[in-house]
Amino acid sequence: MDLEQNDTQIEEIAAYDGEFDTSERTTPSVPSESAIDEEAFKAKLLPQLDDADITTNSEQVFHWEIKDWGALPEKLYGPTFVLGDYSWRLYLFPEGNNTPCVSVYLAAEPFDENAISSSETDGPPSSINQQLKPSTPPKEWAVCAQFGIVMWNPEEPTSFTYNSANHRFTSEESDWGFSKFHELRRLFVKQSPLETPIISNNKVNFSVYIRIVNDPTGVLWHNMRNYNSKRATNFTGLKNQGATCYLNSLLQSLYFTTSFRDAVLQIPTDSETDGIPYALQRVFAQLNTSEAPVGTLQLTKSFGWDTADAFTQHDVQELNRVLMDNLEGKMKGTAVEGALNRMFVGQFKSYIKCVNVDFESSRIEDYWDIQLNVKGMKNLEDSFKDYIQVETLDGENQYMATGYGLQDAKKGVVFKSFPPVLHLQLQRYEFDPMRGDTIKINDRYEFPTEVDLSPFLDEDSRDPNESYVYELHGVLVHCGDLNVGHYYALLKPTADGPWYKFDDDKVTRVTMKEVLDDNFGGDPPPTDSKLSPTRPASYWRHNSAYMLVYLRKSKLHDILFDAKLPETIVNREHQLELEEQQRRREKEEQHLYMTLRVGTVERQFKNYSAFDLAVFPVKNEGPGFGQQEQPAEAHADKLRISKLSTPGEVLDHLVATYPNLDRRSIRLWSMVHRDNHTYRLNEPIMDRYDITMEKVAYKHCNNTSEMNCFLEVPSEEQFQSFGCDARAMYAPKDRVRGERLLLFLKYFDPATQTLRGIMSYPVYSEDPTSTLLPVIRRAMGWPETVGVRLWEEIKPEMIEPVDVEMATFNSAELVNSDIITFEREYTEEELDAMVPADEFRTPVEYYDFLVHREQVIFRHRVDPEAEKDGIVKHVAEPIPNLSLWLHQNASYDTMAAKVAANIGVEATHLQFFTSTLQGQVIAPVRRGPNGHGHQQHSGGATVYNILHQNHSYSNILYYDILTMSLHEFETKKLVKFLWLPKEGIMHEQRHESLLPKTATVGDVVAELPGKVDGLKPEDREQIKVWLVQGHRIEDLLLPQFPVISLQSYQQLCIGLQSDEEVAYYDQQQQLQQQQPPAGGAHQQYRLIEVFHFYRDLSNTHGIPFTFVLKRGEKLGETRLRIQRTLGMFDKVFERVKFAIVRRGVGNGSSSGGTGTTGSIGSRATTGNIAETDAFNGYEGSVTPSTGVTTTTTNTTNSSSGTTPSDGSVSLSTSSSVRPVLRYVYDAEPENGPGSTGYNEDMELFAEIGDNECLGLDHMNRAPRRRMAGERAILIKS
């Protein structure tokens, strides 16, 4: 826009830069702010910024006095004034800039003394907020300023309007202001409460308040358009794939941990280019050298992520652990082995120390990071104090010390060491039970730039010569709430340098306020909407640190140093960059080129052993029959040619590329996909230089981007017979002999079971087919007396014989490009001696194999237990995987024979197992027709039936090499069992016994002395056997129980009775003889089941076992006996807690037996509290107990009163709640409500302390009824 002015207008516009004289001005009648009160307006318009690093450079107030508003042009500049190194002036639109308001802007440019001498009203820029267009491009510059503009009445300064803003003035945005500064219709209108308009007598003043601030970051109020991180900071950002900002922040943190980066770059990765180390090396190398943001797609693919994963935010801590574990494994055996442990791993000790006796239980563990609580903590120091807080175990929560009993103790954690690089995970998320969802904790939480961690170290671990002062070098931030948010990193890349913000592809320098205060969290600061036009608090996005990176100050130079890229990495990246540039260039020029694939007899056909001529990719078609395993030589050559090249130029190129070609005799054919699913020659391409290959491709295959061709090269015999005359050689028709045909000949060799191409040969349609016989004999070197059979390859499923006695090629319906397969004639005796029974004797059988074949992968199954038990042979060296192509109808025996021949074992001693595609073994393969049924023929099941079982498919089979024949092995039953020694359930031993299918459990027990060490003869009397299903006892087994009844989903357990169990069985025999009264008043022992569960009764685990309760025994003593039975160490058992649940509730694992769920035995009864005959050793009988079930669990909260009722003792790992027992049973009492002993005040789930008894006192009590079918009782001594 041009500024039109005249001399008169210029004379009427006066500029004033100074103080106004107010001595003669009348004070307004209504007290109000006055525009001439510069200090007040400066405070209003230029508030101090709340960042101490952003300081004031200079500030000043300038005034512009206008004496005739009505004479102003449409737009004009005000007077120029200088502040700092810049010239400033107002740019005014009196009638508005396309708005019904006064528009006013502040314009800035670098100070130029020569420009001041020119007119004060030089022309304006071409448009508002657009770059000026002087004769020479302006030098890049920027100045940050706070400014405010006041428009006021010089006759009445209390009448004014104003606005303010902050802006970064640059060569691209040299002016900034307000298009709607003040409504035009209100300029001359009186404003309440004053009776004076802003403009009166056509006079008005503008005051401009400007404060130039120093920009320590270079991006203060930056619009980030055309921002280049590398040029501005010398650092490079990372691209966001969708929701990978959390990954980018972690990667930048690890990259600037120089010792980590240096170790990663030293991992050998040349042989593994698809792994995490290689991808991470590429990211780090590009961050070092790239000018543009670096992509992480290859890295996320190495994680196994797909596109959906890139749009899903994962847990940063878990991702870091997975990354470290992978890298640590790849570093083993290299120069940097153990580097990550030395950098990131520290140790802490968790302990329980008795107060009154000299006993301590402790363990030392490694950690990669420390998780600190945020909720309820003010700062980092509070979190560390909370982490090592000591808990006192006393009163009912005393600690059971081995050898000392219950003792008062101190429980806590103390650090043994801190690593040089310390990662602190701040727990910003927690589960809110009221909302039923995870929420973010936005509480204010402060962390320092330096922290001394020595107070949190174990006193014995402190080195007086070592400093434990850590310096903050990384803050990983989450902005937003749980569901919507963003991650970025604030990092200090060098020991003494500034901080930078790494926000995906943008890298900017930041102030310390942005590092610390802005990420402490907490409520949003109060704002003045008039002075700070920020978003209201309801839209505030909480910025809070979730991970801190501290470096040990004394090790800074070992962690942060100037590490150069290894030369091998530099060279590799340079080569990859060149390849990438080539790919980009080819992609850009792709429309100018086309792909030409060429096949020949010598290069492809003679190396090909399947249908058709060679491997040609066909659009929208998969590989043909038999083409999957063809060698690379059988694939058509791929050429990239210009679409504007001619057929003649293509032939010239082929002659220059292929050896021994005569340009005069070769001919190029197009290819066609026939309706019978074969791919053959179509028609010759004319040798011309006046037509482009683009047109040729469109004509022959309706495609201009790719084309398949076959190059015909005549034989030497044919070439000489025509005297090098290509025109005569390729004459399409002979007057007598008919049309010229080019046939292809293949040979099937039954001795080697191979099919291969031999030659192409031209014939004429009216020649007899027998003319091929001497040609074949000469090519194969056979005598003239050798018989030859011919077969036509019509289509994959149709191979027909060719009549060589009477037929011509025409009458045999042979056309151009047909394929003839020939074989040598053998007698049946010769074939019997040459070809095994399961191999192919004719081309027809071989072609059928190509159509109906399966690729099967065989893997040797390693089973140390079976080797130990003599079931399978021990193999010293690992057997590599074997891949075989087998006919779908091949029998089990044929498959076994082929595998045995490849691995050098007897076929009769192989047992196969089906598996999933992931390699998980499913079940053994039977020789029946379906792989699991009865035999149909002597060969057994077919390959197809074996691989396609239960509506699923897997071509992976595992095999065992047996020590006996499979036939003998299938007459036996492999019994797998667990031996539970006296040392405890936790020391289980797994064994196997191969027994006749008629064997019993007694036979399994009889084999124990040869499998179990230290078993004494007298121990046989105390052996007990129980059956487990779903981690619950299904049945107690008699010696005569048949092993054939054992199911694969059941677990057989064998162990020794405890002394209490022996006493229990003695009691049962006595009670049977004495006929005790109802209620079991004389019983001193009770047999129960103990099983393990986690949180919920359906989530069972571990090995259940039988246990005896003793009348009058304290709970503390019962717990000791349970600990001995389990064989748990004190430090593990201390976290265990107990609950008793009602029999019949749980996982419901009762299928396969006749007993009810939770009962011990198959003949248990419900509703009868008296116990009947019990299992009395292996020389006695089994009559299971009807008692309650006792279980072990890992999390039941003993103080919540919400333990599921199932009748079981539970063991838990929660250390925050003292162990208790809860007891519920479902036996119908003989004395109900109202009878003697009924206590209405009993609790349903009552706690039992260590000094109370878990015994049989409830036999004389009646439980109270809470609801139908549910009763409970509190047991006390």
Q: What are phi and psi of 1101, to 5 degrees?
A: -160, 170
SS3 1187: coil
- Phi, then psi, of 701 in degrees rounded to 5: -135, 10
Spatial contact of 506 and 239, defined as CB atoms under 8 Å apart: no
Structural tokens at position 499: 């901080």
Cβ-count burial 100-132 (b if 16+ within 10 Å, e if not): ebbbbbbbbbbeeeeeeeeeebeebbeebeeeb
Q: Are 1144 and 1135 in contact (CB under 8 A)?
A: no
| Cβ 1175 vs Cβ 1027: under 8 Å | no
Q: Write down the catalytic residue from 63, 423, 486, 700.
A: 486
Name the E strands within 981-1050.
989-996, 1023-1029, 1032-1036
What Rg do the C-alpha atoms of the chain give, in angstroms? Answer: 46
Among the listed residues 220, 226, 276, the one whose alpha carbon sits nearest the alpha carbon of residue 247: 276
User: What residue type is assigned to position 1237 of the chain?
Assistant: G
**1258 is known as an active-site residue:** no
Which one, of 1231, 1223, 1237, 1236, lies nearest residue 1271 by Cα?
Answer: 1223
Active-site residue (options: 101, 144, 245, 1253): 245
Secondary structure in 3-state letters for 134-180: CCCCCCCCEEEEEEEEEEECCCCCCCEEEEEEEEEEECCCCEEEEEE
Q: How far is CA 1139 from the centre of its chain?
A: 38
Q: Return the structure tokens found at 257.
A: 């941990």
Distance between CA 863 and CA 82 in Å, rounded?
89
Coil, helix or strand at residue 872: strand
Q: SS in 3 state form for 367-380?
A: ECCEEEECCCCCEH
Look up residue 82 and give its amino acid: V
Q: In 10 A of CB 276, how many CB atoms?
A: 23
The number of CA neighbours under 13 Å toward the Cβ of 61 is: 20
Residue 308, classed as helix, strand or coil, is helix
Q: Is the peptide bond before 193 cis (omega within 30 degrees of 0)?
A: yes
- Regarding beta strands 738-749 and 819-824, do their DSSP bridges make them parallel or antiparallel, or are they unpaired? parallel
Q: Is 486 noted as a catalytic residue in this protein?
A: yes
Give the count of beta carbons closer than 10 Å to the beta carbon of residue 547: 24
Contact call for residues 1194 and 1146 (beta carbons, < 8 A): no
Give the SS3 label for residue 3: coil
Spell out the residues 6+ positions from residue 47 whose beta carbon is closer than 8 angstroms to its own. 146, 528, 531, 532
Q: Give the distance, in angstroms, between the CA of residue 229 and the centroid of all CA atoms in the same chain.
A: 30
Residues 227, 220: Cα–Cα separation, whole Å = 13
> What is the dihedral angle through the alpha carbons of 495, 501, 506, 508, rounded to the nearest 10 degrees?
-70
Cα separations in angstroms, 750 against 753, 754, 755, 830: 5, 7, 9, 11
Residue 775 has φ and ψ, to the nearest 5°, of -60, -45
Q: Which residues are catalytic?
A: 245, 486
